[in-house]
Structure 1
Amino acid sequence: MNVMAKAEKKISSAFIYFFGSFGGILFGYDIGVMTGALPFLQADWHLENAASLVGWITSAVMFGAIFGGALAGQLSDKFGRRKMILMSAIVFMVFSVLSGVSPDMGEASAYYLIIVRMLLGLAVGAASALVPAYMSEMAPAKARGRLSGLNQTMIVSGMLLSYVVDFLLKDLPGEWAWRLMLGLAAVPALILFLGVLRLPESPRFLLRKGDEAQARKVLSYIRKNPADIDQELASIKETAKEEQQANQKTSWSTLFSGKYRYLVIAGVGVAAFQQFQGANAIFYYIPLIVQKATGQAASSNLMWPIVQGVILVIGSLVYMWIADKFNRRTLLMVGGAVMGLSFILPAVINWMMPNMNPMTIVVFLCIYVAFYSFTWAPLTWVLVGEIFPLAIRGRASGLASSFNWIGSWLVGLIFPIMTASMPQEAVFAIFGIICILGVIFVKTCVPETRGHTLEEIEEQGTNRGRVKASNPEN
Structure 2
Amino acid sequence: MAQEKKISSKYIYFFGSFGGILFGYDIGVMTGALPFLKNDWSLTNASVIGWITSAVMFGAIFGGSVAGQLSDKFGRKKMILVSAVIFAIFSLLSMISPNNGALYLIIIRILLGLAVGAASALVPAYMSEMAPANARGSLSGLNQTMITSGMLLSYIMDFLLKGLPEAWGWRVMLGCAAIPAVILFLGVLKLPESPRFLIKNGQPDEARQVLSYIRKDDSEIEAEIKGIEIAFTKETKVAEKTAWATLFSGKYRYLVIAGVGVATFQQFQGANAIFYYIPLIVAKATGNSASSALLWPVIQGVILVLGSLLYIVIAEKFKRRTLLMLGGTVMGLSFILPSLLNLMIANMNPITIVVFLCIYVAFYSFTWAPLTWVIVGEMFPLAVRGRASGLASSMNWVGSWAVGLVFPIMTAAMAQEAVFAIFGVICLAGVLFVHYCVPETQGHTLEEIEEAGMNHGKNKD
TM-score normalised by structure 2 residue count: 0.91
Secondary structure (helix, strand or coil) at the match of 1:369 reads helix
Are the equivalent residues in 1 in contact too, given 2:95–2:175 (CA < 8 A)?
A: yes
Secondary structure (helix, strand or coil) at the match of 1:170 reads coil
Residue 337 of structure 1 aligns with which residue?
A: 329
Structure 2 CA distance for partners of 1:326 and 1:198, relative to 1, 3 Å: closer
Higher mean C-alpha displacement, 81-90 vs 450-459: 450-459
Secondary structure (helix, strand or coil) at the match of 1:199 reads coil
Which of 326, 336, 347 lines up with 1:355 in the alignment? Answer: 347
Give the C-alpha shift of residue 440 in structure 1: 2.7
Output aligned runs, 1:16-415, within 5 Å.
16-47=12-43, 49-104=44-99, 106=100, 109-223=101-215, 225-226=217-218, 228-248=220-240, 251-390=243-382, 392-415=384-407
Query: Whole-Å Cα distance in 1 between the matches of residues 308 and 88 of structure 2?
Result: 27
Structure 2 CA distance for partners of 1:85 and 1:180, relative to 1, 3 Å: same
Structure 2 CA distance for partners of 1:388 and 1:82, relative to 1, 3 Å: closer
Higher mean C-alpha displacement, 73-82 vs 449-458: 449-458
Give the C-alpha shift of residue 392 in structure 1: 4.5
Structure 2 CA distance for partners of 1:93 and 1:398, relative to 1, 3 Å: closer
Counterpart amino acid of 2:438?
V
Give the C-alpha shift of residue 261 in structure 1: 4.0
Name structure 1 gaps, 5 residues minimum.
467-474
Query: Whole-Å Cα distance in 1 between the matches of residues 443 and 78 of structure 2?
Result: 36
Structure 2 CA distance for partners of 1:12 and 1:325, relative to 1, 3 Å: closer
Counterpart amino acid of 1:60?
A
Q: Percent identity?
A: 73
Give the C-alpha shift of residue 431 in structure 1: 1.0
Structure 2 CA distance for partners of 1:264 and 1:196, relative to 1, 3 Å: closer
Residue 9 of structure 1 aligns with which residue?
A: 5
Counterpart amino acid of 2:32?
G
Name structure 2 gaps, 5 residues minimum.
none
Structure 2 CA distance for partners of 1:345 and 1:207, relative to 1, 3 Å: closer
Are the equivalent residues in 2 in contact too, given 1:246–1:392 (CA < 8 A)?
A: no
Query: Whole-Å Cα distance in 2 between the matches of residues 438 and 216 of structure 1?
Result: 40
Residue 470 of structure 1 aligns with which residue?
A: none
Higher mean C-alpha displacement, 343-352 vs 225-234: 225-234
Higher mean C-alpha displacement, 280-289 vs 383-392: 383-392
User: What number of residue pairs does the alignment pair up?
Assistant: 457
Question: Greater CA radius of gyration, 1 or 2?
Answer: 1
Counterpart amino acid of 2:37?
L
Give the C-alpha shift of residue 354 in structure 1: 3.5
Which of 428, 432, 441 lines up with 1:440 in the alignment? Answer: 432
Deviations 1:2-60 (A, max 9, x none): 4x33xx6153222222211222222211111111111111111111x211111111111
Are the equivalent residues in 1 in contact too, given 2:26–2:151 (CA < 8 A)?
A: yes
Deviations 1:356-394 (A, max 9, x none): 111111001001111111221122233344444555544
Deviations 1:79-134 (A, max 9, x none): 33222222111111110111111111x3xx01101111111111111122223333
Give the C-alpha shift of residue 277 in structure 1: 0.8
Identify the structure with bigger relative contact order (alpha carbons < 8 Å, sequence gap 6+): 2
Counterpart amino acid of 2:176?
L
Give the C-alpha shift of residue 211 in structure 1: 4.3
Structure 2 CA distance for partners of 1:22 and 1:460, relative to 1, 3 Å: same
Query: Whole-Å Cα distance in 1 between the matches of residues 190 and 281 of structure 2?
Result: 43
Are the equivalent residues in 1 in contact too, given 2:31–2:297 (CA < 8 A)?
A: yes
Structure 2 CA distance for partners of 1:75 and 1:253, relative to 1, 3 Å: closer
Deviations 1:195-240 (A, max 9, x none): 1222333344444444455444444444553555554444443333
Are the equivalent residues in 2 in contact too, given 1:9–1:221 (CA < 8 A)?
A: no
Are the equivalent residues in 2 in contact too, given 1:246–1:390 (CA < 8 A)?
A: no
Are the equivalent residues in 2 in contact too, given 1:89–1:123 (CA < 8 A)?
A: yes
Are the equivalent residues in 1 in contact too, given 2:58–2:110 (CA < 8 A)?
A: yes
Query: Whole-Å Cα distance in 2 between the matches of residues 98 and 315 of structure 1?
Result: 33
Provide the aligned C-alpha RMSD in A: 2.4
Counterpart amino acid of 1:98?
L
TM-score normalised by structure 1 residue count: 0.89
